[in-house]
Amino acid sequence: MLGGDQGSGLDPFSFAFFAKEIASAVRNFDVRMAVVIGGGNIIRGAHTKLPIDRVTGDYLGMLATVINGVALRSALESEGVRARVLSAVEALGTVPYTVESAKEYWDAGDVLVLVGGTGSPFFTTDTTAALRAAELEAEVLLKGTKVDGIYTSDPKKFADAEFLPELSYEDALVHNLKVMDMTAFALCMEQKIPILVFNASVQGNLVRILAGEKVGSLVH
């Protein structure tokens, strides 16, 4: 999504859009927000495309998230929002991630931009988001996607795909709805962290969610 229409590279309009969405949310509501960011616009599936192993490919992906995170921080600061990039891997322009430091920056009113994945290979951005949500005792995990929420099948491929505004963890598992990867989903279910899947590309959706409007699909 950060790659714009091409889906790759750093699209300035996409970064500006998401920065404005986050800025509107924190200005209008008394919330603590942490943004877990991926790196697919820079590198995706490196180990399948380059002559490298999976572990090396995953480390390349973690470094890509750092680039995105530092760029998003700059975009947020342009909107007048204080942000701090916390990384699970050592990198210039970031602060090492710990739960304690994250909560301190939250108390200071900063938006957290969490990069570097979990710091270990084999774990996805979904799993990072679930882990950080559990560690920081988040009230809800918002998964921003390009679709309106969860459907019974791919709405782009199947005209009879049914939109599901609300469902239980068990329903998602039984029907194999692929809300998130299984490691992430299992952690959210175990820790009873609600997952709200929504279309992050629709302007104002983040504010609508915080205002209590029915947006996206809620798994709980």
% pLDDT > 90, the chain: 82
Q: What confidence tens digit (pLDDT) does each residue in 98-144 have?
A: 999 999 999 999 999 999 999 999 999 999 999 999 999 999 999 99
Burial 2-34 (b: 16+ CB within 10 A, else e): bbbeeeeeebeebbebbbbbbbbbbeeeeebbb
CB 88 within 8 A of CB 115: yes
Give pLDDT tens digits for 59-102: 999 999 999 999 999 999 999 999 999 999 999 999 999 999 99
Fold matches, 1-137 and 139-220? yes
Determine the CATH number of domain 1-137: 3.40.1160.10
CATH architecture of 139-220: 3-Layer(aba) Sandwich (3.40)
What three-state secondary structure class fits 87? strand
Any idea which of 25-34, 39-48, 95-104, 173-182 has the lowest mean pLDDT? Answer: 39-48
Q: Which amino acid type is present at position 14?
A: S
74 burial class (0-12, 13-18, 19+ CB within 10 angstroms)? middle
Q: Are strands 166-167 and 217-219 parallel, antiparallel or unpaired?
A: parallel
Which of 85, 88, 86 minimizes the C-alpha distance to 116?
88
Domain range summary for the chain, segments of one domain joined by +: 1-137, 139-220
**CA distance linking residue 144 with residue 149, whole number of Å:** 9
Cβ 175 vs Cβ 152: under 8 Å:
yes
